[in-house]
Amino acid sequence: MNESGIYAQLKEFLRSHAEKNNLLQERVVIKGRILTSEEAIGNPQRRDFPLLKGKEKLIQADFKGAAGQAFTDSPGNFEGTLAELLAQPVNTHFEKASFIAVLNAVMRHLGLASGTIHCKDEEPSECAEKLVLDIKREYGVPRIAMIGLQPALLEACGQNFPVRVVDLDPDNIGAQKCGVLVEDASTKTREIIDWADLVLVTGSTVANGSIVDFIDLPKPAIFYGTTIAGATPVLGLLRHCWCSK
């Protein structure tokens, strides 16, 4: 499936459930705002998360008392009805992230998704430890390809499995993080996927369209994070996000 097909599938699912629950006929207000790093992730002991370094922004959509978040490099705001949002294109990074944040919020409101709010403080490290236990139980000691640098997750996995990681941030590429060389996602992604037995993929890929490269892989893939909370059940993906709210 290509990128436009994925967003079309997510849109149709959301539209169908909104119609069934009479959400398109009434005016609903959807607000997106950029969260501060403290609001988004609290005050973890380690300070190398992209949110804390200003490399990523977390926008939040509020829908009838339910909140949904999405990572993006192009934050902005939207307010209108759900029907108006669904009528908009999903082309730019802002449009994609806005749609995904709203999808997460509406899916949470309908009880179709959970864990749409980012964990805080030391919970990212707790989550990483739980993921390691899950991987050992399900896959033994696999070679892991990590798509996107999440430092707590990389540290925990690197202490227990052979790991390679790719990222798009030029400040990370070529650096050693938690004892692992960060490779260039634009040139090395396919190579490390071929090398690996298991692929860990940041859920932010659903907010920038690159998720198309990680669906239907010939090996297990686990998506992590809050951004992909609402899309996971629609696309039939495996998601790990123990400590999200």
The pLDDT tens digits of the residues spanning 96-147 come to: 988 999 999 999 999 999 988 876 667 778 888 999 999 999 999 999 999 9
Q: Which of 34-43, 141-150, 194-203 has the lowest mean pLDDT?
A: 34-43
- CA 3 – CA 77 distance, rounded (Å): 23
- CA 115 – CA 30 distance, rounded (Å): 19
Q: Is residue 217 part of a domain?
A: yes
Supply φ then ψ for residue 158, to 5 degrees: -65, -25
pLDDT of residue 49: 41
Q: Is residue 76 part of a domain?
A: yes
Domain that holds residue 68: 3-109
* Boundary-marking domain end, from 42, 75, 109: 109
* Boundary-marking domain end, from 84, 109, 134: 109
Domain count, the chain: 2
* Boundary-marking domain end, from 45, 78, 109: 109
Choose among 128, 152, 155: nearest CA to 45.
152
Encoding tokens for residue 103? Answer: 């999808």
pLDDT of residue 58: 78
Residue 31 amino acid letter: K
pLDDT of residue 34: 54
pLDDT of residue 243: 61
- CA 179 – CA 169 distance, rounded (Å): 18
- CA 82 – CA 89 distance, rounded (Å): 13
Q: CATH number for the domain including 173?
A: 3.40.50.11590
Q: Are residues 135 and 174 in the same domain?
A: yes
- CA 119 – CA 113 distance, rounded (Å): 16
Q: Is 140 exposed, middle or buried (0-12, 13-18, 19+ CB in 10 A)?
A: exposed
Q: Are residues 150 and 231 in the same domain?
A: yes
Q: Are residues 131 and 55 in the same domain?
A: no
Supply φ then ψ for residue 157, to 5 degrees: -70, -40
Encoding tokens for residue 183? Answer: 């490779």
